[in-house]
Amino acid sequence: MRKDKGHLIRKVEAGSIAQEMEIEAGDRLLAVNGEAVGDVFDYQYLMQDEYVEVLIQKPSGEEWLLQIDKEYEEDLGVEFENGLMDEYRSCSNKCIFCFIDQMPKGMRDTLYFKDDDSRLSFLQGNYVTLTNMSDHDVERIIRYRLSPINISFQTTNPELRCRMLHNRFAGKALEKVKAFYEAGIEMNGQIVLCKGINDGVELERSLSDLAGYLPHLRSVSVVPVGLTRYRDGLYPLAPFTKEDAGGVLDIVHRWQEKLFPQWGLHFVHASDEWYLLADRELPGEENYDGYLQLENGVGMLRLLLEEFEDSMGRLRREGAAERWAGRRRCVSAVTGQISYPYILRMARQMEQEFKGLSVHIWPIRNDFFGESITVTGLLTGQDIVAQLKGKALGEALLLPQNLLRSGERVLLDDYTVDGIQNALQVPVNIVKSSGYDFTESILGPF
């Protein structure tokens, strides 16, 4: 067998089955139980059994057939060079709301890749339109019992969906949802709302249709389309107003009240942006059904506030304010404009309880993408540097972790954390996106 066959192992976890069996980085996985592994779907399914035979090829070309007894669904403990164990599938749609089409030229190539790969739905929680999914893919998902699958619906009106995705097969793709439902595959859904297109009556229709897939369709998030300043030549879309946001929330809450008594789920959820735009209070924690759609910005602020209050309660019980007495500390923190009021409220509460603490919260205007983009995760290093240059930032500048590329210290525009630190002449600390990490980072070690 040629050396370039199989799947290259990039890393072996310490203490894993793979390490025990002397599998090493640089080895290749050729087969499991005598079957070739096409991609991550096949691998996860074949590795479920308590007894597996794994064929490994060493860099020398020597092949080892390993017989392994393990726990059900226990993994070997390896990472492959390609997480999908196959080529990534690019999107075949031309959606009128696509954010990638609204990005400026000159950014790193990977930011322009439009994925619509169902396998990333299971690995990374990505939302897929189903238009890139073959009948074979559907059959494997059902056979392998893979779930949840995250689906980007936009609308259940087949004709409208074809127009919104600019794909003549987009309406027919919705038939796959019925197959998943009948097979009991768990799903989550997303609707990117575009003003005057899939809102209002169309949103009501979509939610009515999607409610028919309960309980296997566990949740549907409604998020506003993001509009950057780079829309020349693209489909004309208008931003939502405060009044529009209130109307969307009225629809969402009406469906929640209708469905919760029967299913014990609120099912449809509005992203945080709608509440902030409408100037309405965020729902309580119990309304989010266990935060099923955090990555879509649904309940992120409520969870942050709950964690913050829990952390502050723990600090009070431990007598932290008394131990703090006599100390002085001044720090700054960056946030997007949409979450600024909440972050500021948290900072002021900490200043009241910890005398001598001074916290500057800086809401960064998104000049890079345009002022209508107000979420923290899309801030760039150049905007942070430009707007904080010459400001009194204190002992440290705190940046939220969701600004960084996964696993790296690089922002969306390729600014590095070190670059920001050097430009602003202040130590930069990265803060995880939780209320616990917020309080810990603000106070520092003491």
Residues 348 and 405 in one domain: yes
For the chain, the farthest-separated pair of C-alpha atoms sits apart, in whole angstroms, at 71
Percent of the chain with pLDDT over 90: 77
Residues 124 and 242 in one domain: yes
Residues 287 and 343 in one domain: no
What is 97-148 written as a DSSP string? T-SGGGSPTTS-GGGG--B--HHHHHHT---B-STT--HHHHHHHHHHT---
Note the pLDDT of residue 116: 62
Please indicate, yes or no, if residue 2 is contained in any of the structural domains: no
Note the pLDDT of residue 317: 96
Lowest mean pLDDT among 130-144, 149-163, 226-240: 130-144
Residues 205 and 310 in one domain: no
Residues 291 and 219 in one domain: yes
Note the pLDDT of residue 83: 74
179 has pLDDT over 80? yes
Choosing from 297, 320, 349, the residue where a domain stops is 297
Note whether 277 and 240 are within 8 A (CB). Answer: yes
313 has pLDDT over 80? yes
Mean pLDDT in residue range 400-412:
87
What is 312-360 written as a DSSP string? HHHHHHTTHHHHHTT--EEEEEEEETTTHHHHHHHHHHHHHHSTTEEEE
Mean pLDDT in residue range 123-145:
84
Q: How far apart are CA 149 and CA 181, in angstroms?
A: 11
Note the pLDDT of residue 85: 74
Please indicate, yes or no, if residue 261 is contained in any of the structural domains: yes
Omega before residue 341 within 30° of 0, cis: no
- For residue 219, give its domain range: 100-297
C-beta neighbour count of 337 within 10 angstroms: 17
What is 178-205 written as a DSSP string? HHHHHHT--EEEEEEE-TTTTSTHHHHH
Computed over every residue of the chain, the mean pLDDT equals 92
Note the pLDDT of residue 1: 38
Note the pLDDT of residue 443: 96
Please report, as a single letter, which amino acid is at residue 362.
Answer: W
Express each pLDDT in 21-75 by its tens digit. Answer: 999 999 999 999 999 888 888 888 888 889 999 999 999 999 999 999 999 878 8
Work out the pLDDT band at 2, boundaries 50, 70, 90: very low
Residues 273 and 404 in one domain: no
Residues 152 and 64 in one domain: no
Residues 203 and 106 in one domain: yes
Q: What is the pTM of this model?
A: 0.84
Q: Is the dihedral of CA 113, 119, 124, 129 positive or negative?
A: positive
Note the pLDDT of residue 4: 56
Note the pLDDT of residue 182: 97
Lowest mean pLDDT among 240-249, 295-304, 406-415: 406-415
Choosing from 277, 297, 317, the residue where a domain stops is 297
Q: How far apart are CA 220 and CA 294, in angstroms?
A: 12
Mean pLDDT in residue range 181-189:
96
Structure tokens at 435: 């209320």
Q: How far apart are CA 121 and CA 133, in angstroms?
A: 12
Note the pLDDT of residue 74: 87
What is 243-305 written as a DSSP string? HHHHHHHHHHHHHHHHHHHHHS---EEE-HHHHHHHT-PPPPGGGGTTTTTGGGTSSHHHHHH
Mean pLDDT in residue range 193-200:
98
What angle, rounded to 10 degrees, do the helices at 417-424 and 381-388 form?
10
Please indicate, yes or no, if residue 44 is contained in any of the structural domains: yes
331 has pLDDT over 80? yes
Residues 135 and 34 in one domain: no
Q: How far apart are CA 56 and CA 271, in angstroms?
A: 46
Note the pLDDT of residue 107: 77
14 has pLDDT over 60? yes
Work out the pLDDT band at 369, boundaries 50, 70, 90: very high
Q: Rounded to the nearest 5°, which phi and psi values hold at 288?
A: -100, 5
The set of residues, in sequence order, having a beta carbon less than 8 Å from that of 336 and lying 6+ positions away, is 363, 364, 366, 374, 375, 376, 377, 378, 379
Work out the pLDDT band at 3, boundaries 50, 70, 90: very low
Please indicate, yes or no, if residue 87 is contained in any of the structural domains: no
Please indicate, yes or no, if residue 93 is contained in any of the structural domains: no
Please indicate, yes or no, if residue 219 is contained in any of the structural domains: yes
Residues 271 and 413 in one domain: no
- What is the SS3 assignment for 56? strand
Residues 209 and 285 in one domain: yes
CATH of residue 50: 2.30.42.10
122 has pLDDT over 70? no
Residues 106 and 243 in one domain: yes
Residue of 35 and 246 predicted with greater confidence: 246
Laid out side by side, the sheet with 397-400 consists of 357-364, 329-336, 397-400, 428-431
113 has pLDDT over 50? yes
Structural domains of the chain, count: 3
Q: Give which of 353, 299, 360 is closest to 335, Cα–Cα.
A: 360
Note the pLDDT of residue 154: 97
Q: How far apart are CA 403 and CA 417, in angstroms?
A: 10
